[in-house]
Structure 1
Amino acid sequence: MAPVSISLFLTATASLVTLATGSPTTGRLLLKPTWTLTPTQSTQRFRGLAPVSASTAWVAGTNGTILRTEDGGATWISVGPSSASLNSTAEEASLEFRDIAAWSASHAVALSIGEGTASRIYSTADGGASWNLGFANADPAAFYDCLAFSETDPSHGMVMSDPVDGHFRLLETRDQGLSWQLISSAQTGIPTARGGESGFAASGTCLETKSGRWYLASGGAAPAGRVFASADDGLTWDTVTETSIPATNSSQGVFSVRFRDAAHGIVVGGDFQDPTRTNGTAGWSDDGGVTWNPSDKFPGGYRSGAAWFSGLCPPKGAAAVAVGPTGSDFTFDGGRTWHVFDDGSFDAVECVGGRVCWASGEKGRVARLLF
C-alpha cells in the first residue's frame, strides 16, 4: 500500500476519533480503511494465518496449501509439505490446514484437520524447504481445531480437540512443535463439556494465550458459547464461563476469543449457517473472562476471527478488528460497539507491529491493512 499523506492521515485519524468517541460533529467515517488484496495466485481457502511483520506472513489452507511472503504480499511462494518433498504422498497434498503459527520466515508450525491421521501437526525451521511431522492423530474420536503458542516462550504451545470422553482434549509441546504430548483431563481438571459442545476450526483463534493465561472457546450446546480458562500457563483448567453469544445449535457459539492483557478480552461468533444475522455476535470482558457482556452494537453478521491492534485514538489499546464472510468491523472501545467498514469475505485476521493487520479467507483472498 502506498504511503498515506499527512493531511489524509490526519483526516482519517479525526474520523476514527469521531467514530470511537461518539462525538456529535459528523458521527460517520470520512475515510474508510480498506483491505488491500495481495496476488496469491491461489483459489484455496486460507483459514490459517500467521503474519510475522508488515512484510512476512504465512497462510495455510485447503489441499495441502501453505504459502509464504517476505515482501508484504507482492509475491507468494508455495512451501507446504507436499511442495517441499518429492516423496510427498497424495494424502499430504489433500490435507486441510486450519491453523498456523510462525516466528520468522524460517520457523512455522501448521495444523491440519480431519478424521484419523488427517489431523496432523507439522513444523519447519527452513522456510518450508522441509517439514517435520510432530503429531499424527490415531484416535477417531478426536478432532483438532486450533493451536497457540506462548507469547513469551515460543517453545511452549498447545493444541485443542473437540471433546473426547466428555472433555476437551489438549496436546502440549515444549520444543516449539517438534513433538507433542497428550494432557489428560485428570491432569488439567478441565470442566466437563456439554453434550454437543465443540470448538470451531474457523480462524485458528478458538485457543488463545495472553499474559500467562490460556483460553478455549466453544459453541454448539445451549444456552450459550463458553470460554474455558487456565490461570497458570495451561497447567490446570478449572474455570469455565458462559458468554453472551447464543449456542442453541451446532452452528452457533464463540468462534474466536482474544485478550489484549490479563483483564480485557473480546469474543466474536454467531451462526455460520445464518451469516447475516447480527444479534448476539460479540461480547467483551474487563475482568479476565469471569463475566462476559454483550456488545451494545454488534458486528455486521457472523464473525469467525478477531484481533487487537493499536488504535489511532483513545482509549489507548481498546481497538480491535473482526472478520467474517459478510464483512469486517472495527471496535475502538474494547468490543462494546462495532462498526462495519468492508463487505469482503475473510475467515481469519491477525495484527502485528501495532498497526499492520492481515486477513485471509476463501478463493485465495489474503489482504493487508495499514494504519
Structure 2
Amino acid sequence: MSHAGEHFAPGTYKFTVKSTEEAVTIIRDRLGPTARVISVRAVESTGLKRLFGSPRLEVVAQVDAVEAANASGDAAGSFDAVSAELATPDNGSETAPEVAPRSRLTPFSSSLGLTGLLRRSGITETALNRIQAGRNWNELNTLPLHRALAETSRLLRSQVEARTARPPLARAAFLGAAGVGRTTALCKWLSQEVFRRARIGHVVTVEFDRPNPLGPLPVFSEALGVPLAHFPCETQAAVPGGFVYLDLPALSVRRPADNAPIAAFLDREQIRERVLVLNAAYDRASLRDAYAAGCDLGATHLVFTHLDEVPQWGKLWDYLFDESIEPLFLATGPSLTGDCEEDVPGAIVRRTLPDDDTSA
C-alpha cells in the first residue's frame, strides 16, 4: 500500500473504471484510507463500442483531511464499505484489474464551488437561477461540497414533485415532430399499461392530408392483444376504465399553420390528454421550438426519447419546472417493451447529481 505522503490531496475526485475491483484498488492505493464514495453510476459506451464493450463505472470519491492516526484506524472498515457500495455484475472478472494511472484520476475541483460543479453537470442557467433564488442557497454553500450536491439534488426533485398529480392517462393523443420516436413511445407506454398495470383498451391511428407511417404499431398491438383501429372510428373507451390512445401525424415545428388540422381534430373529439414526445438528443434550440409547438397544441404530458444518446441530462430540468405539463416517462433505449423510466425527476437526478449522501 502507498505511503500517506503519496496519496492525493483532500478534495473530490471522479474516475472511470472497468470493474468494482479496479475502483477499490484505486481508492485504497491512490486516494488513501480517508477516501469515501459519494456516487457511483454505470456509463455505457457509445457507437460500435457499445455493441462489444461492457459498461464502465463512473465513481466520485471524497478525500477528507483528517489525522493519520484516525485514518489508519478506520481504513479496514472504510474499504469494506467501498466494496459494498460498488457492488455490480462486473465483479465476476477473472483477470486482475489494471491499476489506473494517476492521469485517470480527475479532480472534481472544489475550487469551482457549488455553482461551477452544477454548471459542469449540464444544468442550464435557468435551472441554476431557480436554485440560487431559493432561500437556502447561502446555507447550501456552507456545507461540504458532497453534502451540498446531495441537498441540491433533493431540492430539485422536491420542486418537480410538488406539482399537483394528474389522474392516470385514459384517453390521450401522442404528438410529436417527425423522427422523435412518437410511435415507439406509444408502444412503450402500451407495454407498461398491459404488462405492468393489466389495463385493456384500444389504439386509434389518424391521418389527415399527410400520411402517418405506423411503423411497428400494427404488429406490436396484435402481439399485445390491443385492438388497432383507423379513424374514423370510436374514440371513446370500449370498456369501463379502459384506455384509448391515438397516434397522430407528425406536427410541424417550422410552420404552425400546418398543425391546424391536428388542433381541430383534438378539439372536435374532445381529447383533453395530449402527450408531447420530444427527442432529447436534439440541441437546445430545436428542443425549445418543438416544445413550443406542442404547447400551442395544448400538451398536458411530456415524454423524452433517445436518452441513450444523451451524455448529459441536465438540460431536461428546464422542462420539468413547467407545472402545466406533467413528465410522463423517459425512453432510455430502443426496446418496445422496456427502456421506460417513469420516475422522471429521480432518473435525471441520478444522471446529474448524487441523490443520497452516500459519504455519510
Q: TM-score, normalised by structure 1?
A: 0.26
Q: Which protein, 1 or 2, shows the higher relative CO under an 8 Å CA cutoff with sep ≥ 6?
A: 2
Instruction: Tell me which structure has the larger Cα radius of gyration.
Output: 2
More strand by share: 1
Q: TM-score, normalised by structure 2?
A: 0.26
More helix by share: 2
